[in-house]
Amino acid sequence: MTLTADLYWSFRSPYSYLAIGRYRALSESHDVDIIVRPVYPLAIRQPDFFERNHPNWLGYTLRDMMRVAQFHGIPFGPPRPDPIVQNVMTREIAAEQPHIFRLTRLGQAAARRGKSLGFCHEVGMLIWGGQEGWNEGDHLARAAARAGLDFAELEAEVARDAEALDAEIHANQAALEAAGHWGVPTLVFDGEPFFGQDRIEMAKWRMEQKGLAARG
């Protein structure tokens, strides 16, 4: 019996990136289909979030994400460019955002095709794996191809259907909150949310209770 789960995820979240490869590996080794449901990051949903945080928040988060990557052997580096245009010193979010809306709509277009797990992982590896200029040239097109998708087709859909894609993205956020959480990465399995990159083994444990089996 194939199990199903939804992974609520953001292109700007380093912890989303640090989780998705392990969830992808789980879906490849075990009989579970995981669909990524992209959402807009806190920087878009709550632009003052970073300004209101404790002064130690940024320093600790940077240290923690680096050690999580090292612990799991995941390639990791600062995004160049950042998917969110933000003043690093003041933490103010810029009004113009050339990347995050495009990326998230592309992710939702991939979700429509049932291939968002592979697409978001491949693109996440570009953004957070150290690829400078990930938004230039054919980097995104090649990432889409590795996920079994036609990038030109995705781009055309994003241009043609942006409003409907945004409605679906907002519905993803509403579904995440209805499931009992608000942040990413959150995997929802059988109505139960598992928030954070450090809940993957616990999510797998719950799935095993529901009959999760290794693929033959």
3-209 adopts what CATH topology?
Glutaredoxin (3.40.30)
Q: How deeply is 112 buried, as exposed, middle or buried, from its count of CB atoms within 10 A (0-12, 13-18, 19+)? A: middle
CB 114 within 8 A of CB 35: yes
Whole-number Å distance between alpha carbons of 7 and 18: 13
Residue 152 pLDDT: 98
CA distance 144 to 123: 8
What is this structure's pTM? 0.94
Range from 44-53, 162-171, 189-198 carrying the lowest mean pLDDT = 44-53
Residue 90 has pLDDT above 80, yes or no: no
Q: Encoding tokens for residue 134?
A: 């990930």
Per-residue pLDDT at 50 exceeds 70: no
Which pLDDT score is estimated for 47?
62
CA dist., res. 173 & res. 178, Å (int): 9
